[in-house]
């Protein structure tokens, strides 16, 4: 494993990503659209809801517009990063295979993908956090941004896992939409959770702890340490799964390619 190879692969990924100007524009516009719709439609009535991740039964009262803005900010961060992660792993599969054949180790490629994803998670978390703070001032902006980044980390690693398992682009998108829409886009709404039955099921979903991190940071002075730790653990499980699958697929393809070249050698050109 070499730093030079990781840097080379990382630079290739970022160049391919930032060449897609429409995608970058959409990443910037979608949160604005989501939050603007909430701003124009949500009411100013004060509503109580429960902070679910705290050991004590703690209820707070916030205006509906504020709750909806924070919830939609978390949901948009999860949606954007999950689709981005899926795209990174699927779109670059042929390039990654070529690099493996040229001598790159699958772990080097996975590290470069993860670094590019972490960069985008940070940018999206900061951007969505600052944008949300314009619509509704949060109590702890830095911690709120951390909650958005943790949402991106969990769903980004989920996107990597889906992209590693599913080859088809449409099928991968449907897997993302299915979970993200039900989880981050619905069940983690604190107003829904407060009156929901079978709350234990909601707690098992990926967006539960990162959304709790963001909500606690946005409205209270309570500690976010526990929710943040469990968010990292949850995301890391997806990351471990995607690493195992990605490594296995790249290794098998390299062996298969090497065997075919033993019988019919062909000269390949590799990136410098």
What is the band of 238 on the pLDDT scale with cuts at 50, 70, 90? very high
Residues linked to residue 48 through DSSP beta bridges, in sequence order: 61
The strand pair at 59-63 and 46-50 is best described as antiparallel
Q: Identify the weakest region by mean pLDDT among 124-138, 139-153, 224-238, 245-259.
A: 245-259
pLDDT of 257 higher than 90: no
- The predicted pLDDT at position 237 comes to 95
Q: Is 60 left (phi over 0), alpha (psi -120 to 50) or beta?
A: beta
pLDDT digit string (tens) for 172-231?
Answer: 999 999 999 999 989 999 888 878 888 889 999 999 999 999 999 999 999 999 999 999
What is the band of 258 on the pLDDT scale with cuts at 50, 70, 90? low
pLDDT digit string (tens) for 10-58?
Answer: 888 888 888 888 888 888 999 999 999 999 999 999 988 888 777 667 7
* 142 vs 53 pLDDT, higher one: 142
Q: How far apart are alpha carbons 213 and 205 in whole angstroms?
A: 14
- The predicted pLDDT at position 98 comes to 76
245 closest CA partner among 182, 166, 181, 164: 164
Strand, coil or helix: 60:
strand
Average predicted confidence (pLDDT) for the chain: 86
Residue with tokens 């407060």, as numbered in its chain: 194
* 94 vs 195 pLDDT, higher one: 195
pLDDT of 79 higher than 50: yes
Give the percent of the chain with pLDDT over 70: 91
pLDDT of 252 higher than 60: no
> What pTM, to 2 d.p., does this model score?
0.88
Q: Which two tokens stand for residue 251?
A: 């290794």
pLDDT of 78 higher than 50: yes
pLDDT of 106 higher than 80: no
Residue with tokens 């290739």, as numbered in its chain: 12
- The predicted pLDDT at position 253 comes to 54
Asked if residues 116 and 14 have their Cβ atoms less than 8 Å apart, the reply is: yes
Which H or E run includes 242? Answer: helix 225-263
Give the percent of the chain with pLDDT over 90: 52
- The predicted pLDDT at position 256 comes to 52
Mean pLDDT of 111-128: 93
Give Cα 61 to chain centroid, integer Å.
29
């Amino acid at each position: 494993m070499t730093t030079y190879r990781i840097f080379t692969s990382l630079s290739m990924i970022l160049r391919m990503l930032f060449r897609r100007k429409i995608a970058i524009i959409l990443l910037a516009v979608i949160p604005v659209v989501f939050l603007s719709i909430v701003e124009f439609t949500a009411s100013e009535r004060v509503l109580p809801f429960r902070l679910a991740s705290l050991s004590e039964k703690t209820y707070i009262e916030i205006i509906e517009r504020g709750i909806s803005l924070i919830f939609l900010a978390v949901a948009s961060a999860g949606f954007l990063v999950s689709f981005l992660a899926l795209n990174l792993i699927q779109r670059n599969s042929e390039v990654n295979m070529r690099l493996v054949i040229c001598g790159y180790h699958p772990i080097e490629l996975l590290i470069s993908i993860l670094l590019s994803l972490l960069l985008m998670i940070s940018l999206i978390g900061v951007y969505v956090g600052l944008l949300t703070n314009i619509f509704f001032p949060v109590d702890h902006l830095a911690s709120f941004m951390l909650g958005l980044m943790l949402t991106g980390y969990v769903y980004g690693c989920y996107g990597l896992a889906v992209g590693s398992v599913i080859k088809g682009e449409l099928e991968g998108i449907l897997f993302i939409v299915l979970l993200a829409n039900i989880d981050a886009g619905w069940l983690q709404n604190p107003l829904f959770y407060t009156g929901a039955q079978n709350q234990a099921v909601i707690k098992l979903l990926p967006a539960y702890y990162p959304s709790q991190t963001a909500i606690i940071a946005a409205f209270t002075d309570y500690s976010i340490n526990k929710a943040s730790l469990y968010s990292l653990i949850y995301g890391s499980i997806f990351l471990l799964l995607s690493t195992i699958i990605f490594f296995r697929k790249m290794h098998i393809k390299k062996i298969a390619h090497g065997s075919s070249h033993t019988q019919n050698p062909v000269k390949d050109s590799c990136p410098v």
